[in-house]
Structures are given as C-alpha cells and as structure tokens.
C-alpha cells in the first residue's frame, strides 16, 4: 500500500504481480503517512498539509469511511496497533491522539497536547512510543492507560520490537539500539553513513533496516551491529520502509518516485566489491589535477589529462561528501564525520581539524586567494579555518537545521551557506557578522554557488529548480526549471556565462544564467549525479556520479 504525494492519490498494488489494484484520488495535495489495519480491509492516511486530517478508507472499494481532525501541525506518525483496536497519530505541534471503533463508528481522543517536536511514533506489544527532538522518549499502554514511562532519548526516527528493544536515529546521525527497562541501556551504536530517515525491524527482530539520505537500504545484525544487507537500486533518498507481517519482504519508497520490494531472505550479503559513489569533486586552478571523495571513504587526486591516480588517502569515515583542493599551498581536504581532514599533496600524514562542529560536515569551500577553508555542518554551524595552523577563525550557528552547502564570494570577504530551512545566509569574514539572511526557497537547499562577478548567488535543491538571487540584497532574480528530481550540486563556469547543475534524475544541465534558458542537457550518464566542478579554462566539467567520475570535455560555451 503506497501513499503517492505527487498525484493526490492512494495506490494499492498486488505484491505477487505488481498490478495496481486500487487508485483513489484524495482531497489532500499530498499524503505524508499511510497505515494498514491488521485485517487488510482498511487503510488510514494522513494529509500533508498543516492542520492535517486523518482519513480511513475501504481498501477494496476506495470508499472513505471516516475523517478525523484535531491536529494543528503536520502528522509525523500514523499506526494501527497489532490488535487493530487503536489508530494512533502524532503531529509536530505536540498533539498525540488515538482513535477506536465503537459500535461501528470511529471516535478520536487526545492523549497529549505537549509532546514537543514529535518526529516519530511506534506501536509495539500494546504500547505507544512517542519520539521527539526536544522531549524524552515516552510510552503509554494503549488499553490500560496509566502514567507514561519515560527515557532520556531524543531523535529523528524510531523502531521498537515487542520484546522492548528500541532503535533511535539520534540527532548526530547515528543509530542507538537500546534495551528499554527501568533505564535505557544502549546495546549497539550504528553508523549508517548518511542521516537516517526511516527504521524498521525485521519480523524476528534480528535485523534492523535503515533508510537514509543515501540511495541504499542497510540491514544491521542486532547481535554485533555488522552490515549484513546492502540493498541498492534507488537513485535518490530512501525515505520510507515497511516490513511485511507475513513474509520476508521489505518495501522501500524513494524520492526517485519508485517503490522497491526486496526479498530479505535471498538478498545477498555485502561483498567486497569497490564502491565508487563519488559525492565531491574539485579541480586544481592549473587544470593539471582533480580531486574526488566517495562513499567508501577515499580521498583521491588524479591527473586531469590521463585520469591516472596520483594520491589516495583513506578517510576515517564512510560516505564522505565534500572535497577542496589547494594546489598552491600543497593540500587537499575533505569531511571526516564532524571533523575536517587535511592531507598534504606530497603524501605526508593527514591532519584532522576538530572542535567547530558537533555533527557531520556536509560542505567545504576553499578561498583560493587566501587559503581559508569554510565548512558547514548538519548541526547548522559554519566555520572558517586557518589551514596552516588548524585553527577556527570564524564560527557561526543558524538554528535552521542542516547546512548542506557553502561558497565564497570572489573577493574572499564573504561566505554564503544554505540548507534545510531554505534560507540564504551570508557572513562577512573575518569578523563573522551575519550580513544577509533571506528566505530563498520553501524547500531544502542542497547546493549554493557565487557568480565570478560577485553579483549573484545561485541555489538548487529539493525544489528541482535553480534560483538566482542578488548577492547584496537577497532579492530573487530568476528561476531555471528543467530537472525532474532534486539538484545535488551547481557550479558557475569561470567566466560566469554558464551555470552547471547535476541531479538525481541522472542528468547534467548547462544554463545561460543571464538569458535564463538551458544550453544543453546530458542524459547519457545512466547514474544519479552528485557533484560538478569546472576546469579553469571552462572547457570541461568533472561530474561525480553513483558509478564514479565522468569528465565531460569540450563543454559548450
């Protein structure tokens, strides 16, 4: 059963044949959650708007059976309990509700109005568990009621087994597995590499499946935390998981608009094959070399003409996102979880810079003139480093969620960053003053770049459009549309006459930012594209993809 957010529809497929059995047009523009009654005859959905309504549907005819209102925020969790007696829901305004069928009619009641910024719920063995980002995890027995139990745990995603084991996607991007007794005792600490979005235990509780902002689903063995399943095939973020109650089947839904069904009994164990998902690229100003980072935790320097490997550094982290190359001063850098790794080009021992960020570093940018390195993090902080001594010159915090991308002004006296809350923020350097804060997008921004003339800032992200803004005032100038999925990276050409964008829709697009139209669309790479960097002459583009690095030479002017 799938809630499809893009066509106002609830869809049901036959698992054996893949045939669509039901498609219901729903009143809401989008659906955020779906839950199936244990009898298989009824389906509940949560509307995507603020003041969300819950709706109950006949799974065979598509008839609307009931509508529940009373939430004042967006629904963050919707589940039936195993008996089918209760339908529970929670929203990010702190309201938790339960509904029950009484004499043929469904009645809803409030359980809590101060549950905080709810992020997830789970139902196990007759208990409702509620997780928030700013409140302790709590649980209430649905039938008996009584005083709730509480544990000092916060996070973004939650899964609970009937025997009292809880998996919590914690705020630092890791997963803690706890045995819930009088106190929460952590048994395992898991690192999925990318921030988790959805968690689900196998029916027997022996495996925990994790969907994240990467393109794969990982299965962790609950005995020792090893990765025993690595399910690949999605081309964008995987944002929902569901385990079959009767068969060894796992369903995953992704931002690539696909649903995949996995047989977890026959899915192979991860092999030792080399993973080449390249998430970051940088080109030396001389044009003689380029650097990449990948999901396997490798920082590499290659000859630009021959693509031969010059240097490889093992990073003490997987899923590395960002890279910077300072040819003049002889170093290259990448993220290493919450730290920054700087490696000499002569093969000397790398240094790890620490102390500026509490969560994973997601973006890096080098000011070629001064050698300053800027970094941004999942904790919403920005730092500017003096690389020679490894010291932080500027540190700023936003409180607006993750910062995904950072870029320098051509003059080197300002730095811009953007992320989850869709704001463009510009700080002056070295005094660290916030000089611009503009709402640039209603969606998260994944990429930002500054035009070579300093006049414009470009953004791209979940909204699938590139947007150009006045760098001084933040006023919107232009919107460029053409991608069908999220934009991972953008880059102005050295002369500023072209703007490149790469997307999980497997395309690279070149734009005329002044005229506001596309110049070229390349759809022959066959993999999601994550990173882009121009050669200094503007005649080639280095693209990081899910299948490695591609150099597009003779790029049109």
* CATH fold for domain 278-553: Methylamine Dehydrogenase; Chain H (2.130.10)
Q: 494-510, pLDDT tens digit by residue?
A: 999 999 999 988 899 99
What is the residue extent of each domain of the chain? 163-169+178-273, 278-553
Who has greater pLDDT, 302 or 245?
302
| pLDDT of 274 higher than 60 | no
Identify the pLDDT of residue 371: 96
| pLDDT of 82 higher than 80 | yes
d(CA 267, CA 253): 18
Angle at 338 between CA 321 and CA 424, to 5 degrees: 65
Identify the pLDDT of residue 411: 96
HEC letters along 235-280: CCCEEEEEECCCCCEEEEEECCCCEEEEECCCCCCCCCCCCCCEEE
Q: Which residues lie below 8 Å from residue 513, measured CB to CB, with a gap of 6+?
A: 451, 456, 458, 468, 478, 480, 492, 496, 497, 498, 499
Identify the pLDDT of residue 511: 96
Position 401 confidence tier, pLDDT thresholds 50, 70, 90: confident
Please choose, from the candidates 288, 196, 292, 278, the residue with its C-alpha nearest in 3D space to the C-alpha of residue 238: 196
Q: Which CATH class is domain 163-169+178-273?
A: mainly beta
| pLDDT of 555 higher than 80 | no
What does the pLDDT average to over 201-216?
88
Identify the pLDDT of residue 396: 96
Who has greater pLDDT, 50 or 351?
351
Among 13-17, 208-212, 315-319, 384-388, name the one with the lowest average pLDDT.
13-17
| pLDDT of 180 higher than 90 | no
What does the pLDDT average to over 155-179?
85
| pLDDT of 370 higher than 70 | yes
Identify the pLDDT of residue 28: 67
| pLDDT of 275 higher than 70 | no
Identify the pLDDT of residue 418: 97
Who has greater pLDDT, 257 or 242?
242
| pLDDT of 247 higher than 90 | no
What does the pLDDT average to over 86-115?
88
- Which of the listed ranges 119-133, 183-197, 463-477 does the model predict with the highest average pLDDT? 463-477
Q: Does 163-169+178-273 match 278-553 in CATH topology? A: yes
Identify the pLDDT of residue 116: 87
Please choose, from the candidates 40, 10, 76, the residue with its C-alpha nearest in 3D space to the C-alpha of residue 246: 40
- Which of the listed ranges 55-59, 121-125, 260-264, 380-384 does the model predict with the highest average pLDDT? 380-384
pTM of the predicted model as reported, rounded to 2 decimal places: 0.66
Identify the pLDDT of residue 273: 37
Identify the pLDDT of residue 164: 78
Q: 423-479, pLDDT tens digit by residue?
A: 999 999 999 999 999 999 999 999 999 999 999 999 999 999 999 999 999 999 999
What does the pLDDT average to over 74-87?
90
d(CA 213, CA 444): 13
What does the pLDDT average to over 74-83?
89
| pLDDT of 1 higher than 70 | no
As a dihedral over the C-alpha atoms of residue 441, residue 447, residue 451, residue 456, rounded to 10 degrees, the angle is 10
Please choose, from the candidates 469, 511, 521, 517, the residue with its C-alpha nearest in 3D space to the C-alpha of residue 490: 511
Position 196 confidence tier, pLDDT thresholds 50, 70, 90: confident
Identify the pLDDT of residue 527: 77
Position 393 confidence tier, pLDDT thresholds 50, 70, 90: very high
Average pLDDT, the chain: 89
Identify the pLDDT of residue 230: 85
| pLDDT of 50 higher than 80 | no
């Amino acid at each position: 059963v799938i809630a499809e957010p893009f066509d106002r529809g609830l869809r049901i497929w036959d698992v054996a044949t893949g045939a669509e059995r039901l498609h219901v047009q729903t009143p809401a523009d989008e659906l955020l959650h779906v839950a199936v009654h244990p009898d298989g005859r009824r389906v509940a959905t949560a509307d995507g708007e603020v003041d969300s309504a819950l709706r109950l549907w006949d799974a065979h005819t598509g008839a609307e059976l009931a509508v529940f209102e009373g939430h004042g925020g967006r629904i963050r969790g919707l589940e039936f309990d195993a008996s089918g007696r209760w339908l529970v829901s929670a929203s990010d305004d702190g309201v938790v509700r339960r509904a029950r069928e009484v004499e043929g009619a469904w009645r809803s009641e409030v359980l809590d109005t101060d549950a905080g910024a709810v992020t997830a719920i789970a139902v196990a063995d007759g208990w409702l568990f509620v997780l928030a980002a700013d409140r302790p995890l709590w649980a209430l027995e649905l039938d008996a009621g009584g005083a709730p139990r509480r544990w000092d745990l916060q996070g973004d995603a939650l899964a609970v087994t009937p025997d009292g084991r809880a998996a919590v996607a914690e705020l630092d991007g890791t997963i803690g597995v706890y045995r819930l007794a009088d106190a929460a005792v952590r048994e395992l600490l898991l690192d999925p590499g990318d921030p988790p979005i959805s968690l689900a235990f196998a029916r027997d509780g022996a495996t925990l499946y994790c969907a994240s902002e990467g393109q794969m689903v990982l299965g962790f063995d609950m005995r020792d935390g090893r990765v025993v399943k690595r399910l690949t095939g999605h081309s964008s973020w995987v944002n929902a998981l569901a385990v079959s109650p009767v068969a060894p089947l796992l369903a995953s839904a992704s931002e690539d608009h696909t649903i995949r069904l996995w047989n977890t009994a026959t899915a192979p164990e991860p092999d030792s094959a080399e993973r080449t998902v390249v998430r970051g690229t940088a080109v030396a100003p001389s044009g003689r070399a380029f650097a990449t980072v990948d999901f396997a935790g490798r920082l590499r320097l290659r000859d630009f003409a021959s693509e031969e490997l010059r240097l490889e550094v093992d990073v003490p982290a997987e899923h590395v996102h960002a890279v910077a190359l300072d040819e003049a001063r002889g170093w290259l850098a990448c993220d290493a979880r919450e730290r920054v790794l700087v490696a000499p080009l002569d093969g000397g021992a790398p240094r790890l810079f620490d102390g500026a960020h509490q969560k994973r570093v997601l973006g890096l940018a080098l000011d070629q003139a001064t050698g300053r390195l800027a970094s941004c993090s999942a904790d919403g902080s920005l730092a500017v480093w003096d690389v020679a001594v490894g010291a932080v010159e500027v540190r700023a915090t936003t409180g607006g969620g993750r910062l995904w991308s950072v870029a320098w002004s051509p003059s080197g006296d300002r730095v811009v960053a953007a992320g989850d809350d869709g704001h463009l923020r510009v700080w002056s350097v070295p005094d660290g003053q916030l000089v611009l804060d503009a709402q640039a997008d209603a969606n998260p921004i994944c990429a930002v770049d500054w035009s070579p003339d300093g006049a414009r800032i470009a953004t791209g992200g979940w909204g699938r459009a590139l947007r150009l803004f006045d760098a001084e005032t933040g006023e919107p100038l232009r919107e460029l549309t053409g991608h069908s999925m999220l934009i991972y990276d953008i880059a102005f050409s050295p002369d500023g006459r072209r703007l490149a964008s790469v997307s999980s829709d497997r395309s690279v697009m070149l734009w005329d930012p002044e005229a506001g139209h596309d110049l070229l669309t390349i759809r022959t790479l066959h993999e999601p594209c994550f990173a882009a960097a121009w050669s200094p002459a503007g005649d080639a583009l280095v693209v990081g993809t899910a299948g490695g690095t591609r150099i597009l030479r003779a790029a049109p002017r």
